[in-house]
Chains A and B, each alone.
Chain A
């Protein structure tokens, strides 16, 4: 840098300008355009499963199948009793859920009553109070089925595992055979309300 100074006034002026410009000159000398900054991002998605509300699945084999619903989470058997035999009338329902689980998981299916079981009410000699059924669950490559034999009011559980994440339909089919009761074929069913709760649980292995 060369400056020709002719008098004192000019010198003062130049010094003043240099003083003002000095910080910027220093800064300019520190700029290094070739600098690279590495930014590592380490993140993980949470493990989760989700199941939507239930919906009826088409059953091409027979219309109706003596059930209605689900309405909410309830499937209703239209005629539980055959009017001729007073025993169980056949019924079937196929219920679908939209479900997803983004990690290898365990799937547990439970029957609360081990069959459709009657609540309070009289029993009596030769009168059945529970209805057996077969439940079949399909979820991805996984299939779980069980027979709730209605012999005793205990919780029934079946467990399956999925080695990977699964997303898609989860279906539950419930089949009730004609004449099926806890006392044997074609026993009359005692009057009252019969029900069971099937629980589907997804969780860690």
Chain B
């Protein structure tokens, strides 16, 4: 492009014409530089401590970042010892930014007498219903003595409210005295 071309020699005059002058009508190429900016978001799931949406004969207390306790205010009728119904609905702010599953686990399959089973006319377990709603889906189950899990698989990420409702069943035989206990685990886990 920068070569010189001699096109004439006459009468002692040298004429030099720059070749780029001849090619001035050619398109001047644009100069392009690029800068790529990027970052990575890891797959994460989070559940915050819940708030109580509604309750009857039960209260929720936060125990730690990852745990809380539902206390049934009056487990049995003080007159006849028969289990009283209770209900509580909890709302968890939750997020999972990747495909995942929500799992509800019952460890005992019922609100069960901590000191162990009893024989005879008294009951040592309170059955209860669980219902969970997350990412537009819901699952439910009644626990009647067998532990088990409830699962909502989610193909995408989700952010919003996870609702968990627990309802103990009243009635039946009078309860044996003692402390009754159940552990329910709510888990969001990224799909492997």
Contact = CB atoms under 8 A, between A and B. Distances in A.
A153 to B, nearest CB: 15
Nearest to A174: B37
B68 interface: no
A191 B41 contact: yes
24 contacts: A37-B12, A37-B13, A38-B12, A38-B13, A39-B14, A40-B15, A44-B20, A48-B31, A73-B34, A73-B35, A76-B38, A95-B35, A97-B33, A116-B37, A121-B98, A124-B97, A127-B156, A187-B159, A191-B41, A191-B43, A191-B98, A194-B38, A200-B33, A204-B28
B157 A191 contact: yes
B152 interface: no
A201 to B, nearest CB: 5
Contacts of B20: 44, 46
A198 interface: yes
Interface string A121-165: 111111100000100000000000000000000000000000000
A200 B154 CA distance: 42
B77 to A, nearest CB: 44
A37 B10 CA distance: 11
A78 B2 CA distance: 46
Nearest to A54: B35
Contact of B156 (A74, A80, A123, A201): A123
A80 B39 contact: yes
Interface residues of A, number: 63
Given A39-B14, A198-B37, A124 B42 contact: no
A118 B18 CA distance: 51
Interface string A23-55: 000000000000101111111101111110010
A204 B29 CA distance: 8
Interface of B: 1-2, 4, 12-18, 20-21, 24, 27-44, 46, 95, 97-99, 135-136, 154-160, 190
A57 interface: no
Contacts of B36: 73-75, 195-198
Given A43-B18, A200-B33, A195 B38 contact: yes
Nearest to A80: B39
A70 B2 contact: no
A200 B32 CA distance: 6
A202 B30 contact: yes
B154 A124 contact: yes
A23 B135 CA distance: 111
A168 interface: no
